Amino acid sequence: MSDSLPADESALIARVQAPAGEGRAILDAATREHIAHAPDQSVADLDDAIARAKAAQPGWDALGHERRSDLLLRAADAIDANAETLARLLSREQGKPLNGPNARFELGGCSAWLRAAATTPLEPQVVVDDGEAYAELHYRAIGVVGAIGPWNWPLMISIWQIGPALRMGNTVVVKPSEYTPLSVLALLAVMNEVLPADVLIGVSGGREVGARLASHPDIGKIMFTGSTATGRKIIESSAGNLARLTLELGGNDAGIVLPGADASAIAPDLFWGAFINTGQTCAALKRLYVHESVYEEVVAALAEVAERMPMGVGLSEENVLGPLQNPQQFDIVHRLVEDAKAHGGRIVTGGSPATELGELFYPVTLVADVADGMAVVDEEQFGPVLPIVKYSDVEEAIASANGLEVGLGASVWGDRDEARKVAARIQSGTVWINSHGGIDPRIPFGGVKGSGYGLEFGVEGLKAVAVPQVING
């Protein structure tokens, strides 16, 4: 660990890192400097954690909603009190800059979503009361919930999984991504300053730990965010324990710009819809379909926004774009751009690695004159690349938006009434009008088709981490 770190950051890392001589080295995504060794825990450690979480669950459930909410609000206060320290560690480990819609924004989201999970009302519902029959629908704790998270928004997504599950009286075992374990373990350490013992446990290990978590007989529910391929494996792993599943599996969100849209007015929101977290976002805009009447204006307006956005090391206050988080993701992005070039794509800006910034930096890359069927359009790039496809008939654009096996988000840009008509025909869990990717703890969020199933956030998100029980009579 570097001696030049602020004392609070060194102290937090010291609480979560592996014992000396053990663990896996975690590198700063931007500088590739060593941060610390993360614990490399085993399946036996996981089994022990699940046993402890199971033993703690009845006591946590017995506290009732009011007391649990109170403790979760105190955990949100603890996150706020440590937000800057956590944001710095997140910035180094994940790569995202402190500023822009990045690390500080993510920490703000953590406490906001935790507070929402703590305070959203969920009353029993009287489903029949007609003088002859009387029945109520209640939502009870499931037991122990497993949370398996990705590396792109590791803290906020962990909170989305943890907050509602704890609120409903479950205890939670968290398996962070191998790429970003330190910041997740640090978040849990901060929350555990106020939560009772063993209610929230992190186990940092490899894929075998994730697979065991999904198949463990004492796990009643898995909250998973990651790739579609891993989602399928989790379905298989949970065949034995019949764990309930919420699967958020990413996507390849389409945006459709209608004729008459004002290119310069929409360009900043289009840009951040696509490039939030340097494009490493499940519900980012990943392919843009623009009507031929406004195509060149939209391409030019986006390029103009892109050129104003500084990219670099996350801890430098001026940057709003960072590196790819890991070499595998860098290779995917690089391959897709090279393939687009080879198939006639026009590079408007970017187009080759930004090696002057560091090993994992790839510049914002706009690729025009591309078409469905090209890899850069059909595959999820999960990085700072946006293919822009020209269309002449909105029916074509709708068919393209629906043409892939994923359906997390989508957006339609232009006249609101026209856009809403188009939105109703798009196969995705959310369709935004004149924006893309904005989320709100009160509004349910989830995918369809290959993007998974189950809803997060709001009252639907609370129900998803509970078992329904009917009291009849």
Provide the binding-site residues for ligand NDP, judged by CB under 6 A: 148-152, 175, 177-178, 206-207, 210-211, 214, 225-227, 230, 233-234, 237, 248-250, 282, 329, 332, 380, 382
Are the CB atoms for 244 and 221 separated by under 8 Å? yes
Nearer to ligand NDP, 152 or 400 (CB): 152
Smallest gap from residue 236 Cβ to ligand NDP (A):
9
Q: Which is closer to ligand NDP, CB of 95 or CB of 414?
A: 95
For 177, other C-beta atoms within 10 Å of its C-beta total 22
Residue number closest to ligand NDP, CB atom: 210
Based on CB atoms, which residue is closest to ligand NDP, 60 or 151? 151
Q: Which residue has the tokens 């078992």?
A: 467
Q: Considering the complex, what minimum distance in angstroms separates the CB of residue 332 from ligand NDP?
A: 6
As measured in angstroms, the least distance from the Cβ of 14 to ligand NDP is: 23
Q: Name the residue nearer to ligand NDP (CB basis): 122 or 214.
A: 214
- Least distance CB 358 / ligand NDP (angstroms): 20
User: To the nearest whole angstrom, how small is the minimum distance from the Cβ of residue 281 to ligand NDP?
Assistant: 7
In this structure, the strands spanning 285-291 and 346-349 are unpaired
**Amino acid letter at 264?**
S
CA distances from 74 to 70, 108, 192, 206, 274 (A): 6, 15, 10, 31, 34
Shorter beta-carbon distance to ligand NDP: residue 148 or 261:
148
Closest contact distance (angstroms) between CB of 237 and ligand NDP is: 6
55: Cβ contacts below 8 Å, ≥ 6 apart:
198
Closest separation in Å from C-beta 378 to ligand NDP = 13
Token pair in block for residue 88 = 């710095």
Name the residue among 411, 398, 103 with its Cα closest to residue 286. Answer: 411
Nearer to ligand NDP, 86 or 234 (CB): 234
Q: Which residues are catalytically annotated? A: 248, 282
Nearer Cβ to ligand NDP (191/408): 408
